[in-house]
Structure 1
Amino acid sequence: MKIEIWSDVACPWCYIGKRRFETALAAFPHRDAVEVQWRSYQLDPTLPEHYDGTELDYLSTRKGMAPAQVSQMFEHVAAQAKGEGLNYRFDAVVVANSFTAHRLLHLAAAHGKQDAAKERLLSDHFEHGKDIGSQEYLTGLGLDLGLDAGDLAELFSTDAYADDVRNDIAEARALGISGVPFFVIDRKFGLSGAQPADTFSAALEQAWQDSHPLVMVGAAGTEAADAAEGDASAASGACGPDGCSV
């Protein structure tokens, strides 16, 4: 079962959604058969690499939100994050364009380190006030993950993985995704937002049952047509609403 998650590093609900999804996945009996792929999305691709102002300034000026409304939103989201064991510090968030960070995620994915990179980027951005647009920071993060120094330098001297990021964003648009986080299971089921863990659990179970339907077989190991039609009571040694077979 494959789960694709469209998400932005600069999205506070995306980190909360990641934690809630992970809680559900950890309890899922078939978790070892689940492949998770992080897909890129940008909430504001127009941001410069570095924005001279706080997160509150950014949302109140560029998004037209009243400062009091922004502060109230910060308190609510921080409380939700705390419930998932996360310590958001909106006063320390460095506002920056996330495009290069997404390119780093694709590089990390090529080396099996995507989830670790995603976790670090989200934590560093919302909990530790790191600049996700900084070459120095992204290089250090990549080295911490064991990525090659030459590959990391290439992120800043070429457009490596830029098309991968753009393709993810274009695919999100084609799927009708207009907000993140957004979870797509086997390209059949979609969940929008940082849903409660129980909702993720129900979706995982439903998707698993859909892709692994129960197949009824006869005594000789062949598929029984009557069972496939739902007439289970006709099978040998079974009971139904009308009684038991003999």
Structure 2
Amino acid sequence: MTDKITIDVWSDIACPWCYIGKRNLETGLAQTAADPDAPQVEVTFHSFELSPDTPVDFEGDELDFLAGHKGMPRERVREMLDQVTGVAAGSGLEYRFDLLQHTNTVKAHELLHFAKAQGRQNEMAERLMSAYFTEGKHVGRVDDLVALAAEVGFDADEVRDALESSRHLADVRADQAQAQAYGIQGVPFFVIDGKYGVSGAQPADAFAQITRQVWTEKQDA
């Protein structure tokens, strides 16, 4: 039996291109699932904080944050958000930057590691990104994260204990150290089977193509 292809994804909950990249990856993998010899794939998400100095309760909207963080004129930021909203729509995602609550994402990353230990990381990643980008929910406070985790089916008390104790903070930092070792400076960033690096939210067809290529290489090896 040929080993599964590993796809390691560095991303941030607060990165709009990361959610698009996640959806495009899923769509690409769904294309390969219909192959006669369908590739077997295991996807793991890794932590990357784009703005680790962001307060949990940021005062202002996404326009305020980006204009201040990047020093861009508000009108240029508005155009940029409109553009990414259009790209997201093409991937089946309805972004609502008018509702979005900008926040620090370190606790959300800790929650993803908690979910990974329970074998349900992908479900938790999907719930967090959907809550943040399409529903305007807060993903930085422990209470809000516990509620979202409970929706996925986790025990609320266990989640609260993990987050309040910062049990998985070391795992978050280890991911960030690995990203630095790889030279990753922007996300999403995909490492395919430990040897191919793919940067950015590539189209679904591109993910399908490289998955098929790597699967063939593994069988030929």
The Cα of 1:35 is off from its aligned counterpart by 0.7
Encode CA deviations 1:82-114: one digit per residue, 9 max, x unaligned: 111111011111010000000001111111111
Partner of 2:30: 26
Identity across the alignment (%): 45
**8 Å Cα contact 1:100/1:155 also seen in 2:** no
Contact 2:18-2:201 within 8 A present in 1 as well: yes
Matches of 2:39 and 2:210 in 1, distance apart? 16
Match of 2:185 among 175, 178, 191: 178
Determine helix, strand or coil for the equivalent of 1:36: strand
Q: How far is 1:157 from its partner?
A: 2.5
8 Å contact kept, 1:25–1:31: no
SS of 2:18's partner is helix
Alignment pair present for 1:119 and 2:119 = no
Q: Report the more deviating stretch, 142-151 or 112-121.
A: 142-151
Q: Does 1:213 align with 2:217?
A: no
* CA root-mean-square deviation: 1.3
Q: Decide which of 8, 32, 37 is 2:12's aligned counterpart.
A: 8
The structure with higher relative contact order (CA 8 Å, sep 6+) is: 2
**Aligned ranges 1:126-141 → 2 under 5 Å:** 126-141=133-148
CA distance, structure 2, for counterparts of residue 151 and residue 165 of structure 1: 18
CA distance in 2, matches of 1:7, 1:211: 26
* Structure 2 residue aligned with 1:38: 45
Counterpart CA distance in 2 for 1:212 and 1:175 is 26
Q: Supply the AA of the counterpart residue of 1:133.
A: G
The partner residue of 1:145 within 142, 152, 156 is 152
* Mapped pair 1:204 → 2:208: no
**Amino acid in structure 2 at the alignment position of 1:23:** T
1:224-243 equivalent positions in 2, closer than 5 A: none
1:192 equivalenced with 2:199 (yes/no): yes
Contact 2:9 2:188 in 1 (8 A): yes
> Which residue of structure 2 aligns with residue 47 of structure 1?
54
Distance 2:50 2:133 in 1: 15
* TM-score, normalised via structure 2 length: 0.93
Does residue 104 in structure 1 map to residue 111 in structure 2? Answer: yes
Give the AA of the match of 1:212.
Answer: Q
Distance (whole Å) between structure 2 residues aligned to residue 118 and residue 162 of structure 1:
17
Which protein has the larger Cα radius of gyration, Structure 1 or Structure 2? 1
Which residue matches 2:97? 90
Q: Which runs of 5+ in 1 are unaligned?
A: 215-246
Amino acid of the structure 1 residue aligned with 2:196: F
Q: Which runs of 4+ in 1 moved over 6 A?
A: none
The 2-side partners of 1:146 and 1:61 are apart by: 38
